[in-house]
């Protein structure tokens, strides 16, 4: 885990400990909360066109920013609760995806790896 994510994780643990919330932070509960927050993020884009989704007005962007923070905070808490280093997991996934989606087959193609 990078130093900034580790610091964020420590801040979250301190925040929860002060409020005696660790009892509620099982992997199941954190995964559920993460999905709820991801849904709230998606809600901001639900009926927008592609162009509109790229050009959010400042107030909407501020709301989306808060949802991004919620998603990240729950993801960091989930990773901590399960002992997963999210940066290491993401790096491993990038390596796996590079094998599954070789440039010569995947460039400009949105097909799933088994359809390339």
Domain ranges of the chain: 3-84, 86-116
pLDDT at 38: 98
Confidence band of 25 (pLDDT split at 50, 70, 90): very high
- Measured distance CA(80)–CA(76) in Å, rounded: 6
Confidence band of 112 (pLDDT split at 50, 70, 90): confident
Q: What is the pLDDT of residues 29-88, one digit of tens each?
A: 999 999 999 999 999 999 999 999 999 999 999 999 999 999 999 999 999 999 999 999
DSSP label at residue 24: G
Q: Please report, in angstroms and rounded to a whole number, the separation of the first and last CA atoms in the chain.
A: 33
Q: Is the pLDDT of residue 2 over 80?
A: no
pLDDT at 35: 98
How confident is the model over 90-94, as a mean pLDDT? 97
How confident is the model over 18-28, as a mean pLDDT? 97
Question: What phi-psi label fits residue 83: left (phi over 0), alpha (psi between -120 and 50 degrees) or beta?
Answer: left
How confident is the model over 16-22, as a mean pLDDT? 97
What's the CATH architecture for 3-84? Orthogonal Bundle (1.10)
pLDDT at 105: 87
């Amino acid at each position: 885990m990078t130093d900034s994510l580790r610091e964020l994780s420590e801040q979250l643990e301190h925040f929860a400990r002060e409020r005696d919330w660790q009892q509620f932070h099982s992997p199941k509960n954190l995964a559920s909360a993460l999905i709820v927050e991801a849904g709230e993020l998606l809600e901001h884009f639900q009926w927008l066109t592609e162009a509109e989704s790229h050009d959010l007005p400042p107030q909407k962007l501020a709301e989306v920013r808060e949802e991004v923070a919620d998603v990240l905070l729950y993801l960091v808490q989930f990773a901590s609760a399960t002992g997963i280093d999210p940066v290491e997991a993401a790096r491993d996934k990038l390596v796996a995806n590079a094998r599954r989606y070789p440039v010569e087959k995947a460039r400009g193609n949105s097909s799933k790896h088994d359809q390339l």
